[in-house]
Structure formats: C-alpha cells, structure tokens
Structure 1
C-alpha cells in the first residue's frame, strides 16, 4: 500500500507542474546518464510526458512512468527563476 500512495503523491506533485521547465536526468543504460532540458507537457494515469529541447531545434517527446521517479531511474529538477530544485 505504501508504494501506491507514493506513486499517487508523485503524480499529484507533477500535475501541479504541467508547463514548467525541467532538467531530466535518466538512466541511459550501460552506465550512461542522459540529461535534457524540457517542459512537462502532460500527465496521464500511469505516465507523464516531457517535451524536450534538442539543440537542433526539433522537438522530441519522452514519457516515463511515475515508478521510474520512485525508483530513481529518472530524476527531475525544476528550473524556475534561476534556481534548480530537485523534485521528489
């Protein structure tokens, strides 16, 4: 029951941040960590979507589950007013 409540809290926190700029750090596999800036675009019942800002000007979207945040496979950092705040 604890994990379900934790996932619900993560989802609720992210719903309030839709439209905010984030730094996304994710496990890229084989000891690689990828970092991208983007905007939290949408939250769904099981996943959230981040619209990335690639350097070439094109747009790319990625989605992760709330369990990825819980297990720290994905780290989200809120970039607001020149300050960076780690979420969850």
Structure 2
C-alpha cells in the first residue's frame, strides 16, 4: 500500500482485495504496535471490516483515513 495518497484510491485498492488475506499493523497507542493476520470481509463508504484469524475470530473496523495517516498499515501477501 505504498505510494497511495488519497482516500478514494485507498478505498479502491482495499475493494480489490475483499476476501483476501492481509497482515495488519495497527498503532495501539503508548508505543504498542499490534500485528494481526486477517481477511478483508467487507468495504463500506467510510470504513472497512477485517476478520482476524486468531482464536477469538473477532472483527475489527478501520477507516480509510487510518490507512492514509499510517495509523494502520496493510500488507498483502505476494
């Protein structure tokens, strides 16, 4: 997801990866970086949903501005 600068282009890129695996790096505050693997489940006008592949199978939501400001970084395999 390097080089993408607008929320519209971020949304379009994420839409192209629905159902695919992704590695999330999220800023958890207080110098904590949370790293999780998951699958992009759905995309909405202002947020996207990722189902985490951990023992709880929970979902998390992030906004496209989180990706723009690098609060969340997405890494697609391959």
Does TM, scored on the shorter chain, surpass 0.5? yes
Measured in 2, the distance between the counterparts of 1:61 and 1:70 equals 21
- Structure 1 residue runs without a partner (length 5+): 84-88
The alignment partner of 1:17 has SS state of coil
Measured in 2, the distance between the counterparts of 1:13 and 1:25 equals 17
Kindly report which structure 2 residues correspond to 1:12-23, keeping only aligned pairs within 5 A, or say none. 12-23=12-23
Matched, 1:62 2:60: yes
Q: Shift of residue 6 of structure 1?
A: 0.6
Measured in 2, the distance between the counterparts of 1:73 and 1:10 equals 14
Between structure 1 and structure 2, the one with the greater Rg is: 1
Aligned alpha-carbon RMSD (Å): 1.1
Measured in 2, the distance between the counterparts of 1:14 and 1:34 equals 20
Measured in 2, the distance between the counterparts of 1:32 and 1:59 equals 21
- Structure 2 residue runs without a partner (length 5+): none
> If the length of structure 1 is used for normalisation, what is the TM-score?
0.80
Higher relative contact order at CA 8 Å, sep ≥6: structure 1 or structure 2? Answer: 2
